[in-house]
Amino acid sequence: MNLFRNFKSVTKTCYGRGSFGKLDEILQPHRFQNDGFMVFVVDDYFEDKADFVKRIPELEGDEVHFISVLKEPTTELIDRLRDDILKRRGLPAGIVGIGGGSVMDIAKATALMFTNEGSSVQYQGLNLIKKPGIYHCGVPTISGTGAEVSMTAVLTGPVKKLGLKCDWTVFDQIVLDPDLIASVPRDQWFYTGMDTYIHSVEAITGTKKNTFAEAYSEKSLAMCREVFLKLDRSDVKSDEKLMVASYMGGLSLTYSEVGVCHALSYGLGKVLEIHHCIANCIAFDKLEDVYGDYVQEFKGMVKHLKVNIPQGLAKDWSEETISAMAEVAYNLPHMWDHAFGPDWQKVLDRERIKGWYRRMFGLTWRN
Ligand code: NAD
Ligand code: ZN
């Protein structure tokens, strides 16, 4: 193995039931930077949950923005949010994201864009950001994407769906409170939970597989098995384990890469706006030739939990749609390099990718 990386971790992590109640205290030392106010970006699911809203430690001068995540975060949304706040109020002391992977990415990307000029479009890629952002803190309310721990903030732009990826993207602080994920609807809980299962599988089934990635991956997979095959969701351990599994699945990628499933998922997301986690499930189901027994295990979880999955998607896809998705997927060389090695172009062309998409006609795991 010769995969030198030098990665930045989340600076501070607070874990445990009720830890959301510590947020006020946690933010206190960071409140006096820049123009001295905090911005909270919160999933708008919580907007009418008065008991929850009361717990957000908003002080005088702070701003709370409730944001819809019906669409995954776009470069336009980030630019608009940044421009609006800078123009009205100046530079915040920090930004706190409270929500799922979408809100984690909004908080991370906006933190960077407050201090980097121009549109976020020009920073989609690796190490393109020029200056550190403002203080940023993530409070996940749904678990699986690992966005709370990753060094990327995935944005859909006019051309690419790609992250702002650099050391400064990583959160300064995360607060992992398993109480917050209890209200996630069952199907969404499964789709997002499967993201960490798939991260953990992809991290250890490609050419960049290594002991470091395996350690996190194996623990995350073991916890996913408990959560999705053994424990009842009402068991107090279930949400506690899922929250840590998401974190570990995210860390399994810091020293490895995602692979075929995520490449196909990006095509589904960019062309058809299918959300990341459900797109992963749709793709993973068809990848037995790549991921073998893991796909069988995944189908077993779907069956066990009787999860509702959309059916027969590809029947309406034109050749043009399939080609467009294949083009998006093909242009993710780092994922193919991990999946098939540096000579991936010898074993993979656009036709092979289209073949995978065509398989998504009907899902084989209908309950
Ligand atoms: P999400 O943020 O898109 O939210 C999914 C749904 O769950 C929404 O309807 C939301 O309102 C709801 N929800 C969230 N918390 C809830 C709660 N406590 N109770 C009830 N409903 C709740 O979900 P996600 O699957 O976590 O995130 C997907 C996003 O994450 C995509 O935009 C994807 O690109 C991104 N992502 C980022 C990374 C990364 O490393 N940065 C990795 C994977 C995915
Ligand atoms: Zn993912």
- Domain architecture of the chain: domains with CATH: 12-181 (3.40.50.1970), 186-360 (1.20.1090.10)
Nearest residue by C-alpha to atom 16 in ligand 1? 184
> What confidence score (pLDDT) does residue 4 get?
83
Q: What would the mean pLDDT of 101-105 be, rounded to a whole number?
A: 98
Does position 160 have pLDDT exceeding 50, yes or no? yes
The string of pLDDT tens digits covering residues 222-239 is 999 999 999 999 999 999
Query: Alpha-carbon distance 107 to 238, whole Å?
Result: 27
Query: Alpha-carbon distance 339 to 335, whole Å?
Result: 6
Per DSSP bridges, beta strands 173-176 and 135-140 are parallel
Nearest residue by C-alpha to atom 41 in ligand 1? 147
Percent of the chain at pLDDT exceeding 90: 91
The string of pLDDT tens digits covering residues 277-305 is 999 999 999 999 999 999 999 999 999 99
The string of pLDDT tens digits covering residues 195-210 is 999 999 999 999 999 9
Nearest residue by C-alpha to atom 5 in ligand 1? 100
Does position 366 have pLDDT exceeding 50, yes or no? no
The model carries a pTM of 0.96
Q: What would the mean pLDDT of 44-64 be, rounded to a whole number?
A: 98
> What confidence score (pLDDT) does residue 48 get?
98
Residue of 171, 276, 280, 328 to test ligand 1 pocket, by largest number of atoms within 8 Å of CB: 276
- C-alpha of residue 99 to centroid of ligand 1, in Å: 7
> What confidence score (pLDDT) does residue 317 get?
86
> What confidence score (pLDDT) does residue 315 get?
74
Question: Considering every ligand atom, which ligand is closest to the CA of 144?
Answer: 1
> What confidence score (pLDDT) does residue 360 get?
85
Nearest residue by C-alpha to atom 24 in ligand 1? 101
> What confidence score (pLDDT) does residue 365 get?
44
Query: Alpha-carbon distance 339 to 266, whole Å?
Result: 15
- For the Cβ of 142 lying below 6 angstroms from any atom of ligand 1, the answer is yes
Query: Alpha-carbon distance 145 to 71, whole Å?
Result: 16
DSSP string, 189-245: HHHHHHHHHHHHHHHTSSTT--HHHHHHHHHHHHHHHIIIIIS-TTSHHHHHHHHHH
- For the Cβ of 260 lying below 6 angstroms from any atom of ligand 1, the answer is no
